[in-house]
Chains A and B, each alone.
Chain A
Amino acid sequence: MKKLIALLLALAMVLALAACGNSGSSTGAGTSAEGGDKPAQIEKIRIYVPTSGKYDDIDAVMEKVNEITREKIAVEVEFVPFQFGQWFGQYSLFLSGTEDVDILVNYGGFLNAYSQGACYDLTDLIQQYGQDIIAMEGDYLKGGVIDGRQYALPIYAVYSWNMGIIYRQDVVEELGLQDQVAAVKTIEDWEPILAAVKEAKPDMTPFVTSSGSTAPNFQYGTWDDLGNKYGVLMNGGETSEVVNLFETEEYARLCNVMHDWNVKGYSSKDIQTQTDGFTVLTQSDAAFCTLGQVDFNTPFYQSTTIGKPINVVQLAPAVGRTYNNVTYIVMSNTKHPEAAMKFLNLWFSDIEVGNLIKYGIEGTHYQVNADGMAEYLPGQDANSCTYHIGASISNVNSIRWNTENPDYAQLLIDSNTNSPKSVALGFAFNTENVTNEITQLDNVCAKYQIGLESGAMDPATALPEFIQALKDAGIEKVIAEKQAQLDAFLGK
């Protein structure tokens, strides 16, 4: 009997040890299998990306991609796609470095990744293997630099934009308001339009927020927010003086307008808890306009996304700025930094690789129509096509999909190259010294920001409280830190 118990206990021990051994060694096992026993061999790297599309056929597509990459850069790549919802739930985990992954994409900036030490220093590698990226991105590449070192690669996307009103063109035409709309210069001028819409269309909410209560209404402001909202450069970064956005006249003015609209019933009483944004609401004709990020392509993009004619009023001219929303990083614990950099460069510049990763295999997952644009095969659509992850490192490294603006690539390059740029272009704020303050500030903002910016709270009482709470939480320390870093960045 004793023997049996001893046996069982031993078994339990072994099981437990085996279980913890597994979880601990998975990364090690992965890398040694790919490892450096034969350095001249083809290196394998792995990339995690989020997608809203299908990826059933990913193995076949990757085989095609690898045919190219093996030949050109002696690298084999494996993409691991995740659904967006799952991605945002697991991103922090990916960052913690426990997964066997070499390249990670970051939504909402790479500063978290940097502060956890997850970013491989690419400064030298990019000079060596990333010349195509350098040539294309120019100044915008600085969006991945901290303290003079390149830690991330910003994707080539729209960097030049400003705050604007996004509205339903067909409603304006129906009510004959074109001339009035054309005369709108400031946000205050917009009120008569709202009044007219409210009267003519009782079922339509004249003003809604662009992404519901999940994001502040002034997320895309006329100011350069320098990576986070605590300390901004006003007027798109005209001067390098970092100011407290929430104390500016501009901010108070916007809050007042929003509150005024809310009181007059142009926006919903429930605006601060309304989770649906403009895109969703306007698809069911429930909304007329919103405030948001406006660039050269917004009318086209919104019209095709929503399926209704959309137009915009720019409240200020577009300004090029660091909007480090989407970047790629190489994980600091990678065993294959060179291979990763080589692949990123190839993906960035090679239209064949770009098309494959984005749309799949021509003839199987998409076809090219007479205008040279990609489209689904006859009889297929977004649901039945077995590969369409849409992920990309550049918005110009592939042919265009048939719903896109045919001239998009050239317009994008023109817009990024020709518009005025913020003085802080490329500045990234290192929050390491002010983590405690930012934690508290985020909580203060959770209390006031959405309410104020949506117009549900009265700025007369809430704004001074908000400003005081921010001060108590240490916003001035964060701003001073930001100013010091910015001055150092500008070489002052």
Chain B
Amino acid sequence: MQKKSSLMKKLKKYWPFYFLALPGLIYFFINNYIPMGGLILAFEKYTVSGGIFGSKKIGFQNFKFLFSNADAWIMTRNTLLYNIVFILLGLVISILTAYFLHELKSNMSRKFYQTVILFPSLLSIIIVSYLANALLAGDTGFINNHILLPLGLEPISFYSEKKWWPFILVFVHFWQMTGTSCILYLANMSAIDPSLYEAASMDGATRWQSFFNITIPCLVPTIITLTILAVGKIFNSDFGLFYQVPMNSGAIIDVTQTIDTYVYRGLMNTANLGMSAAACFYQSVVGFCLVMITNSMVRRISSENAMF
């Protein structure tokens, strides 16, 4: 009762804000909560006549294909490792990029560089995959024909050699995504009170000192929020990056297969709704658990920075 009345009090006091949030809440309810009923598909052998709720329940059989083979380990390892690299390296790269942009004195050049860095994220992944192909191809690729050949080196057959792909994929990912991921940090940096920097420079702090002692601490809440969110998606992968950029080449599948591409390759021909739902269910449940765990860890270390 106590809680309810305090909610009412809050509603009363802040109602314009709740009102503003209303369209978003309705959207989420319709778009994200109602479809959750469909998760029941993961436990069914779906038939058209039975529909979503009337089909035969078959327990966990739909989940079998995710675990019952040698590839299960490979795809899980790839998904996790790539995501860990993306999260950790992503922190460093996007904060540094944001900092460099922030430190630019001239507004013109800041706008210019920001646009240049942001541009790749506007490209469709198909176009990105062909840009990569223009660099990497064997017959016509830039690297083979205009760098390695003139240097008298052996050409590299990128699309059949596994060892290059962890680097290529990480590079392409950051080339494409840094622009968007540094925007939040950039916005946060411009919100830091400039008097802090002034005071620091009065006391003789160097740029790096003020970066580590002012900028980073001010960014910590953002860093934690974004990291927790990213951890929640650690079992998901950017399908376009792992399927399109390697041009679906079979020889390098051991290092490019992720859970999403495995599900796509396995179910594209069979179009089995139950199994696809099972794969998504698995990814979401693991992601949800990881968010809860990370958040509770953060709460234990510094409770004011935890998300909830």
Decide whether A and B are members of one complex: yes
> CB of A41 within 8 A of chain B?
no
Q: What per-residue 1/0 map shows which CB atoms of A1-43 lie under 8 Å from chain B?
A: 1101100100010011001100000000000000000000000
Q: List 30 A-B contacts (CB under 8 A).
A: A8-B22, A12-B25, A16-B29, A16-B34, A19-B34, A20-B34, A95-B48, A97-B48, A116-B46, A116-B272, A117-B47, A117-B50, A118-B47, A213-B247, A228-B269, A268-B139, A269-B138, A269-B139, A272-B251, A273-B159, A332-B48, A435-B275, A439-B65, A439-B270, A440-B65, A442-B265, A447-B254, A451-B250, A457-B250, A473-B69
* B140 cross-chain contacts in A, Cβ below 8 A: 270
17 other contacts beyond A270-B139, A333-B49, A435-B270, with CB at 8 A cut-off?
A5-B12, A12-B26, A12-B29, A19-B30, A272-B160, A272-B251, A273-B133, A273-B247, A438-B266, A439-B270, A440-B266, A442-B269, A442-B270, A443-B71, A446-B265, A450-B250, A451-B160
Interface centre among A12, A91, A112, A269 (most CB of B within 10 A): A269
A272 adjacent to B137 (CB under 8 Å): no
CA distance A12 to B262 in the complex (A): 40
**CB-contacts of A99-136 with B (<8 A):** 108, 112, 115-118
* A469 cross-chain contacts in B, Cβ below 8 A: 70
> CB of A303 within 8 A of chain B?
no
CA distance A116 to B56 in the complex (A): 11
**6 closest Cβ contacts across the A-B interface?**
A117-B47, A97-B48, A269-B138, A439-B266, A273-B247, A447-B253
> CB of A92 within 8 A of chain B?
yes
Given A117-B47, A446-B250, A446-B265, answer yes or no on A269-B271 (Cβ-Cβ < 8 Å): no
* A12 cross-chain contacts in B, Cβ below 8 A: 22, 25-26, 29
CA distance A448 to B269 in the complex (A): 17
> CB of B230 within 8 A of chain A?
no
- Residues of B in contact, count (CB < 8 Å): 51
Given A19-B30, A273-B137, A436-B68, answer yes or no on A457-B267 (Cβ-Cβ < 8 Å): no
B249 adjacent to A451 (CB under 8 Å): yes
> CB of A331 within 8 A of chain B?
yes
B48 adjacent to A96 (CB under 8 Å): yes
CB distance from A206 to the nearest CB of B (A): 13
* B26 cross-chain contacts in A, Cβ below 8 A: 12, 15-16
A272 adjacent to B266 (CB under 8 Å): no
Residue from the list B137, B160, B269 in contact with A456, Cβ < 8 A:
B160
Residue from the list A5, A112, A439, A446 in contact with B275, Cβ < 8 A:
A439
A273 adjacent to B25 (CB under 8 Å): no
* B51 cross-chain contacts in A, Cβ below 8 A: 97
* B11 cross-chain contacts in A, Cβ below 8 A: 5
CB distance from A189 to the nearest CB of B (A): 27
A272 adjacent to B265 (CB under 8 Å): no
Interface centre among A213, A439, A456 (most CB of B within 10 A): A439
CB distance from A30 to the nearest CB of B (A): 16
Given A270-B139, A273-B249, answer yes or no on A115-B270 (Cβ-Cβ < 8 Å): yes
* B91 cross-chain contacts in A, Cβ below 8 A: none
In the complex formed, the residue of B with least CB distance to A111 is: B270
Q: What per-residue 1/0 map shows which CB atoms of A454-476 lie under 8 Å from chain B?
A: 00110000000000010011000
Interface centre among A2, A272, A449 (most CB of B within 10 A): A272
Given A269-B138, A269-B139, answer yes or no on A1-B15 (Cβ-Cβ < 8 Å): yes
A272 adjacent to B159 (CB under 8 Å): yes
CB distance from A123 to the nearest CB of B (A): 17
CA distance A451 to B160 in the complex (A): 9
A438 adjacent to B270 (CB under 8 Å): yes
Q: What per-residue 1/0 map shows which CB atoms of B21-55 lie under 8 Å from chain A?
A: 01001100110001000000000001111110000
> CB of A364 within 8 A of chain B?
no
* B29 cross-chain contacts in A, Cβ below 8 A: 12, 16
- Residues of A in contact, count (CB < 8 Å): 51
Q: Is the interface of B mostly helix, strand, loop or mixed?
A: helix
* A450 cross-chain contacts in B, Cβ below 8 A: 248-250
In the complex formed, the residue of B with least CB distance to A109 is: B269
B25 adjacent to A435 (CB under 8 Å): no
> CB of A305 within 8 A of chain B?
no
CA distance A15 to B272 in the complex (A): 33
A436 adjacent to B65 (CB under 8 Å): yes
In the complex formed, the residue of B with least CB distance to A23 is: B34
A442 adjacent to B268 (CB under 8 Å): yes
In the complex formed, the residue of B with least CB distance to A214 is: B248
> CB of A304 within 8 A of chain B?
no
CA distance A443 to B247 in the complex (A): 15
Given A12-B22, A436-B64, A442-B268, answer yes or no on A96-B160 (Cβ-Cβ < 8 Å): no
B138 adjacent to A448 (CB under 8 Å): no
* A91 cross-chain contacts in B, Cβ below 8 A: 271
* B133 cross-chain contacts in A, Cβ below 8 A: 273
CA distance A96 to B70 in the complex (A): 31
B251 adjacent to A456 (CB under 8 Å): yes
Q: What per-residue 1/0 map shows which CB atoms of B240-267 lie under 8 Å from chain A?
A: 0000000111110110010000100111
A116 adjacent to B47 (CB under 8 Å): yes
> CB of A403 within 8 A of chain B?
no
CA distance A96 to B270 in the complex (A): 13
* B46 cross-chain contacts in A, Cβ below 8 A: 96, 116
> CB of A402 within 8 A of chain B?
no
* B49 cross-chain contacts in A, Cβ below 8 A: 97, 117, 332-333
In the complex formed, the residue of A with least CB distance to B262 is: A443
